[in-house]
């Protein structure tokens, strides 16, 4: 075997671990807005796990024997499935930010 080969499956597994490590460390922030930040980053973590499983297995060409051949083209609806939750997070941030009273 080898230690690290930059295989897409290995790389996305590392990205998922790093994203969830970041989410776990965000718990210790003492910011006023930390529940929103934690919830928003959880959406990012969920999508990193989805990319690790579906994206690497079906839409990227890997180095494993079952991933042989050309990768499938990415369907257009997947772009919307990724963009809509991030747009909702941004809209929720601006709604929350604009509705809070300003402290002087």
pTM of the model: 0.69
Quick one: pLDDT at residue 104? 61
pLDDT at 65: 56
Number of C-beta neighbours around residue 1 at 10 A: 3
Q: Which residues of the chain are under the pLDDT cut of 50?
A: none
* pLDDT at res. 79: 87
Predicted pLDDT of residue 18: 95
Cα–Cα nearest to 45, from 16, 6, 12, 11: 16
Per-residue b or e along 29-68, where b marks 16 or more CB atoms closer than 10 Å to that residue's CB: eeeeeeeeeeebbeeebebbeebbeebbbeebebeeeebe
* CA pair distance 97, 15, nearest whole angstrom: 30
Give the pLDDT confidence score for residue 36 in this predicted structure: 82
């Amino acid at each position: 075997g080898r230690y690290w080969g930059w295989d897409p499956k290995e790389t996305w597994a590392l990205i998922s671990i790093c994203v969830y490590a970041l989410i776990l460390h965000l718990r210790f922030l003492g910011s006023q807005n930390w529940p929103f930040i934690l919830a928003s980053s959880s959406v990012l973590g969920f999508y990193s796990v989805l990319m690790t499983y579906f994206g690497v297995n079906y839409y990227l060409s890997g180095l494993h024997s079952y991933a042989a051949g050309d990768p499938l083209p990415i369907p257009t609806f997947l772009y919307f499935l990724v963009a809509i939750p991030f747009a909702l997070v941004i809209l929720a941030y601006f709604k929350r930010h604009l509705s809070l009273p300003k402290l002087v």
